[in-house]
A and B are shown apart, each in its own frame.
With several copies, the nearest count.
Chain A
Amino acid sequence: MINNGDTAFVLAAAGLVLLMTPGLALFYGGMVRGKNVLGTFMQSLMMIALVSIEWVALGYTMSFGPDLHGVIGSLAWLGLNTVGAAPSPTYATTIPQSVFMIYQCMFAIITPALITGAIAERVRFAPFLVFALLWSLLVYNPVCHWVWGSGGWLAARGVLDFAGGLVVHLTSGAAALAAVLVIPPRSGFGKQSFMPHNLPMTVLGTGLLWFGWFGFNGGSALAANGIAATAFVSTHLAGMAGMAAWSLIEWAHRGKPTTLGAASGAVAGLATVTPAAGFVGPVPAILIGVIAGVICYNAVNFKNRIGLDDSLDVIGIHGVGGFVGTVCLGVFAAKAVNPAGADGLLAGNPAFLGRQIFGVMVVGAYAFVVSWVLLKVINAVMGLRVSSEAEVTGLDLHEHSETAYNN
């Protein structure tokens, strides 16, 4: 039966998750040079159109439709067939199924948008759209089904992911790694410094992301209940702990705590706690945030040393965050917090940690390999990279015939 409080809650959460995509566009857009800000925006924003269409046509049924061998949803709900105002008997049984569908749509939108940060300032718009579409079909939807779909094989094995550590962050991080290996660095990389053109924009984006993350994680309880409360609290605490940890380590390491560091640490904490949010209490959430800040800071620095042009650190923050968070859940999960969850290592159940590590390996490897193949093929057929002349001109003018700022 429909519960109005739950429906209100998940609708609000869906709105919040939608807002994360412009939030991400601002977060990323502030970090690129002024000639690439609109191009960077477009890569995120256009996911709203592209993935929403894909989702209502195919994605929802592939992800959540009646299970086929644990691997994928059948096409029974093609084009939202039978998906209406009545609650699903399987998912989120106290809210209209259409609310569950649109809430999940917002997750499918932001996931490929996350990838764009890795290859910022150098990718052509059209081939990127082709990639994003195929990636949604071949990576996002299957993994989503495995982990969250009723009957999904990873779910059946007991792998847990509260709000998208595997489905969202690890898949996009693995794709980012593939993309950085396939697409050469920005010209001038390693010699020039590419300073952020507008850090206040990045801070604004961080604020909107944090705000939206309450919907992302809190809403994943799919009801306005104690689990939602647990997830909301964990989210906030891990975000703030990530921010604190990154800032302190940077202060110690470089002598100054930076604004971008604080923002990065916050996003690292928020991303890392995502798989665990509804399954752990406040103290583990803080620990997860601290771990996220420390590990992601080092991952980003390590990347700098090995010379990967993961321009806006998708691997180091989302990939590593999704990885670390899913494993941490294996350590910190406690049925005392959420009976629908699991007991982890610290609750005396190392087997669950093993399952989580297994989940990470499978999803990471699958997402990486498929992404790499997709990118290689698209690159061969269409050419993913802008010309060096276009790179000098900037994406805004070259790909969109616009300039961001005029006076």
Chain B
Amino acid sequence: MKKIEAIIKPFKLDDVKEALNAKGIKGMTLSEVKGYGRQKGHKEIYRGAEYVVDFIPKVKLELIVEAEQVEEVIECIRQAALTGKIGDGKIFVLPVEDVIRVRTGEKGKSAI
């Protein structure tokens, strides 16, 4: 099993969710994060002074998937999240050793 973490642009969330759904991926966890990278932050004005805000709102998706699904899921997210502009985000793959479903106590693949 692997954990896929995808940092995407917030307004792409609906598209990504639908694309994953279409692939039969029905479990995920999402959080609001702020990103810092090549994408330039924006300028804000405060009483006539200018400030640069570096961190940009992003959404982070976390999905546990079976190892064989990884490629497919990544591609699916990538396509749905793509705008082609800087700041589209990153996808990370991490190893997972175990998964437990709280409700049933099931472990491993059947708990995903």
- Chain B, residues 39-53, CB within 8 Å of chain A (1/0): the string is 000111111111101
Binds B, one of A83-91, A258-266, A353-361: A258-266
A186 shortest CB reach to chain B, Å: 12
CB closest chain-B residue, reference A297: B48
B14 A403 Cβ-Cβ under 8 A: no
Q: Does A195 contact B (CB under 8 A)?
A: yes
B50 A254 Cβ-Cβ under 8 A: yes
A402 B48 Cβ-Cβ under 8 A: no
Contacts of A260 in B (CB 8 A): 46-47
Contacts of B43 in A (CB 8 A): 401
Partner of A301 from B11, B32, B42, B49 at Cβ < 8 Å: B49
Q: Does A313 contact B (CB under 8 A)?
A: yes
A193 B47 Cβ-Cβ under 8 A: no
CB closest chain-A residue, reference B45: A401
Q: Does A69 contact B (CB under 8 A)?
A: no
B86 shortest CB reach to chain A, Å: 13
Partner of A193 from B11, B42, B46 at Cβ < 8 Å: B46
A261 B45 Cβ-Cβ under 8 A: yes
The answer for the CA separation of A302 and B70 in the assembled complex, in Å, is: 45
Contacts of B14 in A (CB 8 A): 188, 191-192
A200 shortest CB reach to chain B, Å: 15
B51 A304 Cβ-Cβ under 8 A: no
- Chain A, residues 386-407, CB within 8 Å of chain B (1/0): the string is 0000001100010011110001
Partner of A250 from B9, B11, B32, B45 at Cβ < 8 Å: B45
B47 A401 Cβ-Cβ under 8 A: no
A267 shortest CB reach to chain B, Å: 11
Size band of the interface chain B makes with A: 10 to 19
The answer for the CA separation of A264 and B9 in the assembled complex, in Å, is: 33
Known: A192-B14, A392-B11. A304 touches B45 (CB 8 A): no
Q: Which of A249-279 contact B (CB under 8 A)?
A: 250, 253-254, 256, 258, 260-261, 264
B44 A264 Cβ-Cβ under 8 A: no
The answer for the CA separation of A401 and B49 in the assembled complex, in Å, is: 11
B11 A258 Cβ-Cβ under 8 A: no
A193 B48 Cβ-Cβ under 8 A: no
Size band of the interface chain A makes with B: 20 to 34
B40 shortest CB reach to chain A, Å: 13
With most chain A CB atoms within 10 A of its CB, the pick from B14, B43, B45, B49 is B45
The answer for the CA separation of A254 and B50 in the assembled complex, in Å, is: 8
With most chain A CB atoms within 10 A of its CB, the pick from B14, B32, B48, B51 is B48
Known: A191-B14, A192-B14, A392-B11. A258 touches B49 (CB 8 A): no
The answer for the CA separation of A264 and B47 in the assembled complex, in Å, is: 8
Contacts of B9 in A (CB 8 A): 392
The answer for the CA separation of A400 and B46 in the assembled complex, in Å, is: 10
A254 B48 Cβ-Cβ under 8 A: yes
Contacts of A400 in B (CB 8 A): 45
B27 shortest CB reach to chain A, Å: 21
A300 B44 Cβ-Cβ under 8 A: no
Q: Which of A150-188 contact B (CB under 8 A)?
A: 188
Q: Which of B24-59 contact A (CB under 8 A)?
A: 32, 42-51, 53
The answer for the CA separation of A301 and B51 in the assembled complex, in Å, is: 14
A304 B44 Cβ-Cβ under 8 A: no
Q: Does A196 contact B (CB under 8 A)?
A: yes
Contacts of A313 in B (CB 8 A): 47
Contacts of A261 in B (CB 8 A): 45, 47-48
Contacts of A393 in B (CB 8 A): 42
Known: A191-B14, A192-B14. A253 touches B48 (CB 8 A): yes
The answer for the CA separation of A402 and B47 in the assembled complex, in Å, is: 11
A304 B48 Cβ-Cβ under 8 A: yes
A203 shortest CB reach to chain B, Å: 14
Q: Which of A263-307 contact B (CB under 8 A)?
A: 264, 297, 300-301, 304
B47 A300 Cβ-Cβ under 8 A: yes
B82 shortest CB reach to chain A, Å: 14
The answer for the CA separation of A47 and B34 in the assembled complex, in Å, is: 35
A401 B48 Cβ-Cβ under 8 A: no
With most chain A CB atoms within 10 A of its CB, the pick from B9, B44, B47, B49 is B47
What are the 10 closest A-B residue pairs judged by CB atoms, nearest first?
Answer: A193-B51, A401-B45, A301-B48, A392-B11, A258-B45, A304-B49, A254-B45, A300-B47, A401-B44, A300-B48
Give 8 A-B contacts (CB < 8 Å), ordered by A residue.
A193-B46, A260-B47, A261-B47, A264-B47, A297-B48, A397-B42, A400-B45, A401-B45
- Given contacts A254-B45, A297-B48, 4 further A-B pairs with CB under 8 A are A193-B53, A264-B47, A397-B42, A402-B45
